A and B are shown apart, each in its own frame.
Chain A
Amino acid sequence: MSQQSNWPLWEVFVRSSRGLSHVHAGSLHAPDQQMALRNARDLYTRRNEGVSLWVVKSTDIISSDPDEKDSFFESPQGKDYRHATYYKASEGVKHL
């Protein structure tokens, strides 16, 4: 006898210290935003201070597929000029 608990799935993003960015840490179930934030604090930060948390309902996340056709992502092939190593004449010049 399965019971739909109706507690949606939330994705959790954690920024462990200033200067970094939020990183996806995992997910959890909670009935609403407030509880999701609190549960995330318990589970993904062990209530460490100074940590920033985002919670987002999983259904609100729009993603792109890694196997998406090429036009969606510009291929880096053949675009060496976007890499510093392409510029040999500058090698050895300080601060460049």
Chain B
Amino acid sequence: MAPSTPQEPGLSAVPSYEEEQSQGRFDALIDQDSRVEPRDWMPEKYRKTLSRQISQHAHSEIIGMQPEANWITRAPSLKRKSILMAKVQDEAGHGLYLYSAAETLGTTRDEYNEQLLSGKAKYSSIFNYPARTWADMGAIGWLVDGAAIANQVPLCRASYGPYGRAMVRVCKEESFHQRQGFEILLSLSRGTDAQKKMAQDAINRFYEPSLMMFGPPDDQSPNSQQSMAWKIKRFSNDELRQRFVGMIAEQVKVLGLTLPDPQLHFDEEKKQWIHKDLNWDEFMAVIKGNGPANAQRLERRREAHREGAWVREAAAAYAAKQAQSEVA
């Protein structure tokens, strides 16, 4: 094998003997459904893809705190207030677990934070919709967390060790989030006319965006193939969307409410759920930053970061002083 000298243009495409060995080890780990750990060699593209995927997930948890934090001070009962506070706290924790996993890939939390605050990084589009009513707390828990769970459970077996382990932790806590959301809607659906209307309205607004959380149809997702080969994506967008639609179609009956999708039915022949056409134009617009709440969500993060700078600096300064006095 001809050795490569990466400094010389033209020859960098030829892998060195070491690289081929490493690639071999990496491929074997993936094939055996084993785990790639932080100190293992990995293809640069794998590292970059993971870094983006995990950090996007982390950003989503952090931004996702906002629509719900919005209703903590106005929660209509003390019990619901407690539960909502705990849920949002869980989400902060999940963000932290995920940033922790992402950092093992060589990018610091500060760098990820910068990507988010500058608007470069993406996060789940659904959080760019405003939480207008209390019933949105129910819809977000039921639909959004439900979709997130469908996405996350397979990721517990992701090929990258820290990611899979973080996901196991996240999943353990997430199950309650969905149930709580569902129970909020259940209470509303059994309540006054105004409450029932509130619940149905929230479902109407969050149904389509929640289906789009799984990403564009498979035939429009070029990166999916590679991610599936690397086992950092275990099922395709459409497969997961199908599963999710099936679950909520059943659950909505318990609520005695409807999904805003007259077309929704299970096609016995194709063995598929047929749902309405989704508005991918709106999805793309929201992803690009033109949704109803993108500006507000980012500004809240920037503000927290800005207002908190003096606190972070003071803590660091104190630590430095302590360290100095210990050496002295």
Hey, which bits of chain A sit against chain B, CB under 8 A?
2-7, 9, 26-29, 31-32, 35, 43, 63, 65-67
Contacts and interface: CB of A to CB of B under 8 A. Distances in A.
B275 interface: no
Interface in B89-135: 93, 96-97, 100-101, 103-104, 108-111, 114
B315 interface: yes
Contacts of A5: 110, 312, 316
A31 B320 CA distance: 9
A35 B315 contact: yes
Contacts of A31: 312, 315-316, 318-319
Given A6-B316, A26-B100, A63 B39 contact: yes
Contacts of A66: 37, 39-40
Contact of B114 (A2, A28, A35, A43): A2
Given A7-B315, A28-B96, 14 more contacts: A3-B309, A3-B312, A5-B316, A6-B313, A6-B316, A6-B319, A6-B320, A7-B312, A9-B103, A26-B165, A29-B109, A31-B315, A43-B97, A67-B25
B202 interface: no
* A-side interface mostly: loop
A3 B104 CA distance: 20
A44 to B, nearest CB: 9
B41 interface: yes
B185 interface: no
A32 B100 contact: no
A12 B25 CA distance: 29
